Amino acid sequence: MNFWNDPLKVAADWLTGILTGWGMNDVAAHVLVAFLGVLVLITILMVIDIFLVWIERKVVSRFQDRIGPNRVGPFGLIQPFADIIKLMIKEDTTPDGADKVVYNIAPMLSMMSVLILWAVVPLAPVMLGVDLNIGVLFIIAAGSIGTLSIIMAGWSSNNKFSVIGAFRCVAVMVSFEIPMLATLLIPTIFSGSMGTNAIIQSQDIWFVLLSPLAALIFLIAAIAELGRAPFDLAEGESELVSGYNIEYSGMKFGMFYAGELLHAFTFGGFWSIMFFGGYRFFGLEQVSPFLAIAIILFKALVGYWIIMWVKYTVMRIRIDQMLAFNWKFLTPVAFVLVMVTALMNALLRGAGSWLYVTGMILSNIIIAWVSLEIVRSVSKKERERVEGLKAMEVAHH
């Protein structure tokens, strides 16, 4: 077992050896090394987060036919550091009548709910925080802490816009959790495990090929959970100024902003873990753990790019349309998909791999087609009803 095959374990053993050599208790040394490991992971994530700001600004400027930050450093690479210094030296304001303790805890909780997700992200076959056998549920649990942080921020700011933003955000997050959980059950059905590492290990065929519809629903639910356009009514700057984080200034606002970017990146990672094979890429992950990390970070960035692509292309939709879209379309489709997938899995398990894949894809296409047909006929009826009402009104006048 050398450093290049299992760097984390070698480094941890080396450090524990030094610490126990200094006469430290064995248990205490293990706890300290685990703590240091968490610290290193979080530090790396925060550094990635700084560059995500740069990536976000560069990509949005390309979508909007601009150049973006290009003055500070090569390609504007130092711009995010300038941004951070600006955020740090800004005045830290607390509004009158704000609930001080809750107001200050909320940004920390928001960042924490994102960082905690990385505990179950397998960076390489041998490198992951903890191999929970309930990794899939853990994602949803961390999401509910994020919801809590937003409701705390909105309520404690003592501002009506922030309260309205928090209301909308919670309504959206609580509703879109359901299709997300349902689609997360589909990789669980395929792999027979809820652990993220086991899900990656069983993806000899990427799950997106088995269930493209589930991958799509997961992406939509993830975008809603992130509160990004077209589901960004919690911020809705044209109506709510900035939504739940309106009163926050300086680094406290920075925590929400950085948390949102890292959250999007993290969900890009989860999308790749659940449906695109995570760190696997034609056996390259077996060569070196470092290559595996590069692969999963690349896939997470691609997912992040797709989320940005959607954000800067699609316009915001109304809250009632959004909730109707979730409860009347996404949730039923996700549930039907889970049931059909479980049934097909039980029927085709013994069959050959080609039959299995074909059956799964066919069932996905049929579900997508039938649900779109239903939606089309319903919307046609609704359109006729509205046009009939208009015609009546015109005749009446």
Q: CB-wise, 38 or 102, nearer to other proteins?
A: 102
Q: How much of the chain is helix, strand and coil, in % rounded to 5? A: 75, 0, 25
CA atoms of 306 and 300, how far apart (whole Å): 10
Q: CB-wise, 151 or 258, nearer to other proteins?
A: 151
CA atoms of 381 and 388, how far apart (whole Å): 10
Asked if 15 contacts 36 with a C-beta cutoff of 8 angstroms, the reply is yes
Residues 241-280 that bind other proteins (CB under 8 A): none
Contacts of 77 (CB under 8 A, 6+ apart): 54
Question: Which of 54, 155, 190, 279 is in the footprint of other proteins by CB under 8 A?
Answer: 155
Least Å from the CB of residue 39 to other proteins = 18
- Residue 144 near other proteins by CB under 8 A: yes
Least Å from the CB of residue 147 to other proteins = 6
Q: CB-wise, 133 or 321, nearer to other proteins?
A: 133
Least Å from the CB of residue 357 to other proteins = 26
- Residue 102 near other proteins by CB under 8 A: yes
- Residue 133 near other proteins by CB under 8 A: yes
**Six-digit token pair at 76?**
């504007």
Contacts of 164 (CB under 8 A, 6+ apart): 240, 243
**Six-digit token pair at 176?**
């879109």
- Residue 31 near other proteins by CB under 8 A: yes
Give the 3-state secondary structure of residue 64: coil
Q: CB-wise, 30 or 57, nearer to other proteins?
A: 30
Least Å from the CB of residue 57 to other proteins = 33
- Residue 394 near other proteins by CB under 8 A: no
Asked if 279 contacts 292 with a C-beta cutoff of 8 angstroms, the reply is yes
Select from 35-43, 127-135, 313-321, 346-354 the region that touches other proteins (CB under 8 A): 127-135
**Six-digit token pair at 339?**
């049931």
Select from 50-58, 165-173, 244-252, 256-264 the region that touches other proteins (CB under 8 A): 165-173
Least Å from the CB of residue 117 to other proteins = 13
Give the containing element (helix H, strand E) for 296.
helix 289-311
Q: Torsion over CA of 181, 186, 192 and 196, rounded to 10 degrees? A: -60
Q: CB-wise, 376 or 385, nearer to other proteins?
A: 385
Least Å from the CB of residue 237 to other proteins = 22
Size of the site for other proteins (CB under 8 A): 26
Least Å from the CB of residue 327 to other proteins = 11
Residue 28: other Cβ atoms inside 10 A:
11
Closest Cα to residue 214, out of 241, 191, 232, 198? 191
- Residue 137 near other proteins by CB under 8 A: yes
Q: CB-wise, 27 or 395, nearer to other proteins?
A: 27
Contacts of 163 (CB under 8 A, 6+ apart): 154, 155, 157
- Residue 128 near other proteins by CB under 8 A: no
**Six-digit token pair at 304?**
């992040």
- Residue 145 near other proteins by CB under 8 A: yes
Give the containing element (helix H, strand E) for 178.
helix 160-191
CA atoms of 237 and 335, how far apart (whole Å): 34
Select from 7-15, 50-58, 138-146, 211-219 the region that touches other proteins (CB under 8 A): 138-146
- Residue 27 near other proteins by CB under 8 A: yes
Question: Which of 79, 110, 147, 196 is in the footprint of other proteins by CB under 8 A?
Answer: 147
What is the sign of the dihedral through the CA atoms of 35, 37, 40 and 44? negative
- Residue 132 near other proteins by CB under 8 A: yes
Instruction: Mark 189-208 with x for binding to other proteins (rule: CB under 8 A) and - for no binding.
Output: -----x--------------
Q: Is 274 exposed, middle or buried (0-12, 13-18, 19+ CB in 10 A)?
A: buried
Question: Which of 78, 119, 140, 294 is in the footprint of other proteins by CB under 8 A?
Answer: 140
- Residue 170 near other proteins by CB under 8 A: yes
Letter for the amino acid at 54? W
Which residues sit at the interface with other proteins, rule CB under 8 A? 27, 31, 99, 102, 132-134, 137-138, 140-141, 143-145, 147-148, 151-152, 155, 163, 166-167, 170, 174, 177, 194
